[in-house]
Amino acid sequence: MRLAFCLFKFFPYGGLQRDFLRIARECLKRGHMIDVYVMHWEGKYEPGLAVRVFPAQGIRNHTRRQNFVKRIQQSLSQGKYDLIVGFNKMPGLDVYYAADTCYQAKARQQHSWWYRWTRRYRQSVAFEEAVFSPHVKTEILLLSSAQQAEFMTFYHTPENRFHLLPPGIGKDRIVPPDAPQIRNAVRSAYSIGEKEFLLLMVGSGFKTKGLDRAILALAALPQDIREKSRLLVIGKDHAKQFVRQAKKLNIANRVLFLGGRDDVPRFLLAADILLHPAYNENTGTVILEAIVSGLPVLTTDVCGYASYVQEASAGIVLSSPFQQEQLNRALLEMLVSEDRDTWKTNALVFARHADIYSLPERAVSLLESFR
């Protein structure tokens, strides 16, 4: 097949972007051809992909996205593609990879009525409706079953257009034979002793991932435990407000921002707990990556993949509505609990038997069936 893959931005550390790349590689492996349409590409180009960058003008994100879609429409119409696949919501798609939650549902939950009069809201809902309206034929690759109910509620999308995918955790997250050596090397590099606690947060979008909640929980630990705990934050985002928060709580020396990195699996092996107290999360791929690495997880039930933590008995899932005190207690419990080794063992057993690796293969098989 000749395919067009469309997304707003590519950078190496985003979950959506990594899924896009894994699916693209599986397509290339099966002999399909791919043209990629993108506003911005950061990092090395992937061999085999014909990347076409269309910079879009505009001060605000929604304006740039609207201009980008206008710019690529003519090329897409002339491309004679078997399928046009979108990794962000936009008009004109044959297939949408649903990495994002329902925007309209989130906007109504988080904002008052006046927000619905803003240009950002109107443009975002228009793009969402262009995918989920019952009057279009876009097939939807779904990552979380909880998504489907929201989209059907707001847009009355026919049920038969949804196709649920299994997770697609990279096999490089599986614990390697030299895991103890990797753990010791990472902890030594950051002067973290074996009897100290290494807390880890991973993900671009610090606000959405709940970094403010994690910093508050670290500050709330009893002094003796807090002074032997470090929080390492990996992800590409603006850290300024969170650095200020840590300073205000007198724990700036306990929090270290490492930026976006390609060696996340090393830190999953080195850490004692993955903190992921997200406000809103369609899936939370890092949750499963932690489980595969044998790392206990502390997360919120709004994450699509939080159910795997419960299924694997590999940590604690906080119930909604979120309460900071509940997170504070759970973090302390996980640090001092004798169950940490049990959570780790449970996670590794689950990782050996669960179907959590086949997303790219299943996604491409569905694309082939839609032709």
> What pLDDT, on a 0 to 100 scale, did the predictor assign at position 124?
95
Average pLDDT over residues 268-288: 94
> What pLDDT, on a 0 to 100 scale, did the predictor assign at position 335?
96
> What pLDDT, on a 0 to 100 scale, did the predictor assign at position 58?
85
Domains of the chain: 2-168+357-370 (3.40.50.2000), 171-353 (3.40.50.2000)
Where do we find the tokens 């090397």? 185
C-beta separation of 15 from 283 below 8 A: yes
| pLDDT confidence bin for 173, thresholds 50/70/90 | confident
Average pLDDT over residues 97-113: 90
Q: Which of 216, 262, 221, 212 is nearest to 239 (CA)?
A: 212
Express each pLDDT in 324-370 by its tens digit.
999 999 999 999 998 889 999 999 999 998 989 999 999 999 999 99
Express each pLDDT in 222-259 by its tens digit.
999 999 999 999 998 999 999 999 999 999 999 999 99
Q: Is the pLDDT of residue 172 over 90?
A: no
Distance CA 284, CA 304 (A): 6
Number of DSSP helices (H) and strands (E) in the chain, helices first? 16, 13
> What pLDDT, on a 0 to 100 scale, did the predictor assign at position 296?
97
Average pLDDT over residues 63-78: 93
User: What is the CA angle 167-169-170, rounded to 5?
Assistant: 150
Q: Name residues whose C-beta falls within 8 Å of residue 16's C-beta, 6 or more positions apart in sequence.
A: 7, 87, 88, 97, 99, 100
